[in-house]
Amino acid sequence: MVSILLVLVGFACLIFGANWLVDGASALAKKFNVPDLAIGLTVVAFGTSAPELVVNTFAAYQSHSDIVLGNVIGSNNFNLFIILGLSALIYPIKVQSSTAWKEIPISLTVTIIVIFLLNDFFFVLPSRLSRADGVALLVSFFIFLYYVFKQMKNNTMQETEVPSMSMLKIAGLILLGLSGLVAGGQLVVVNSVYIAESFGVSEKIIGLTIVAAGTSLPELMTSIVASLKKNSDIAIGNVIGSNIFNLLLILSLSGIIHPISFNPKFNLDLYILLGGTMLLLIFMLTGQRKKLDRWEGALLMILYLGYMIYLIVEEL
C-alpha cells in the first residue's frame, strides 16, 4: 500500500512539475519575445512529455528495459486510443490537411522504423536498441524539429497574453518544476518495480499500464481541455506530436544512456500501435475526410479496452 501511495505521489510530482516547468519556461520565452507557436512546439511539447522522459531516464540508468519500453509504447497506445478517442467523443475532431497527409504518416513511418531497430531484422544480434540506434533516432528527431519549424514559418502566428512575471518567480517555477520531475520520476520507477516484484506482475505489464497511463496524464488533460474548447488542432496535434516525440527523443535518449534489451513480447504492443495509427489514417481519409467522428473515437476506446483485457488475461 505504501508503494502504491508513493507511485501516486510520484505521478502528482510529475504532473505539477511539468506544469510549473511549462509555465516558467513560457514566461521566460515571452520576456525574450519568442512567438507563441514556437513555445507550443518546443516548451509545451517537452513539458507534456517530460514525465515519460524522466521516468525513462531513471529506468534506463537502472537497466529496467521493460519499464523503458512499456512506458513509451504504452503511453503512445494510451495517447492514440484513449486520449484521442475520448477527445473525439467530447467533440468530433476536424484536422488540417497537413495533419492527415503529413503528420500522421510521419508517426506511422517512425513506428515502423522503431519496430525494425528493436527487432534487429537485418542483423544476427540479440534484439535490442543500441546506442547507435539511439543516435539514429535522435538525428531523426532533429530532422522532425526542422520540419516543424519550417511549417511554423508558413503559418500565421497568433499571439496570446501571458501574465508578466518577475525573473525570481520564473526561476522559482523552473526549479520547482525540475525538482518535481526528478523526485516524481524516481518515486514512480522504484516503487513500480517493487510493486511488480511483490505481486509477481511483470515489469512489462506495469510499464504498459500504470506507468504509461500515469505519465500520459498531461497529454490527457491538454486534449480534453482542447476538445471542450473545440480546438481540434491542439487535441490531435498534442497526441500525434507526443507520439513522435516519445519514439524519436525519449526512446533515443534512453538507448544512449544504456542499450535497451528488447523483449519480443512487446511486438504485439508495437503492432497494435502500428495498426491504430493506420486506422487513424484511414479514418482521416475516408467518410467525412479529415475528421474523426464520435463513433470512430468510441471504436478506438473499445479496441483499447479489449487490448487491456487481453494483457490482464495473458498475465494471469
- Say if 219 falls within a structural domain: yes
**pLDDT for the residue numbered 127:** 78
* Mean predicted lDDT score pLDDT of the chain: 84
153 occurs within a structural domain: yes
* Cell triple for 257: 544512456
Quick one: pLDDT band at residue 157, thresholds 50, 70, 90?
very low
Other Cβ atoms within 10 Å of 117 Cβ, number: 23
More confident residue, 314 or 287: 314
303 falls within a domain = yes
195 domain-assigned: no
Per-residue pLDDT band at 221 (split at 50, 70, 90):
confident
pLDDT of residue 34: 62
Residue 114 lies in a domain: yes
pLDDT of 148 > 50? The answer is yes
What would the mean pLDDT of 184-206 be, rounded to a whole number? 84
Instruction: Identify the pLDDT of residue 123.
Output: 59
Q: What pTM value is reported for the model?
A: 0.82
Q: What is the CATH number of the domain that holds 280?
A: 1.20.1420.30
3-state secondary structure the chain: CHHHHHHHHHHHHHHHHHHHHHHHHHHHHHHCCCCHHHHHHHHHHHHHHHHHHHHHHHHHHCCCHHHHHHHHHHHHHHHHHHHHHHHHHHCCEECCHHHHHHHHHHHHHHHHHHHHHHHCCCCCCCCEECHHHHHHHHHHHHHHHHHHHHHHHHCCCCCCCCCCCCHHHHHHHHHHHHHHHHHHHHHHHHHHHHHHHHHCCCHHHHHHHHHHHHHCHHHHHHHHHHHHCCCHHHHHHHHHHHHHHHHHHHHHHHHHHCCEECCCCHHHHHHHHHHHHHHHHHHHHCCCCCEECHHHHHHHHHHHHHHHHHHHHHHC
Percent of the chain beyond pLDDT 70?
87
Confidence of residue 278 (pLDDT cuts 50, 70, 90): very high
Average pLDDT on 254-272 reads 93
Per-residue pLDDT tens digits for 106-139? 999 999 999 999 987 655 566 789 999 999 999 9
Residues contacting 157, CB < 8 A, separation 6+: 35, 36, 37
Q: Above 70 in pLDDT, residue 163?
A: no
Dist CA 131 CA 307 (whole Å): 31
Does residue 232 fall inside a structural domain?
Answer: yes
Please indicate whether residue 56 or residue 37 has the higher confidence score (pLDDT).
56
Q: How confident is the model at residue 305 (pLDDT cuts 50, 70, 90)?
A: very high
pLDDT at 159 over 50: no
Which residue range is the domain that position 304 belongs to? 36-53+63-157+201-315
Lowest mean pLDDT across 72-81, 163-172, 224-233? 224-233
Residue 23: the pLDDT is 78
- The C-alpha atoms of residue 11 and residue 259 are separated, in whole angstroms, by 26
User: What pLDDT is recorded for position 121?
Assistant: 66
Number of domains in the chain: 1
Residue 166 lies in a domain: no
Q: Work out the pLDDT band at 232, boundaries 50, 70, 90.
A: confident
Reported confidence tier of residue 160, pLDDT bands at 50, 70, 90: very low
Residue 233 has pLDDT above 80, yes or no: no
Least trusted range by pLDDT, from 66-70, 121-125, 239-243: 121-125
Are 211 and 188 spatial neighbours (Cβ–Cβ below 8 Å)? yes
Q: Is 14 a residue whose pLDDT tops 90?
A: no
In angstroms and rounded to an integer, the radius of gyration of the C-alpha atoms of the chain is: 19
Q: What is the mean pLDDT of residues 89-107?
A: 81
Per-residue pLDDT, 155: 57
In a domain, 74, yes or no: yes
More confident residue, 15 or 316: 15
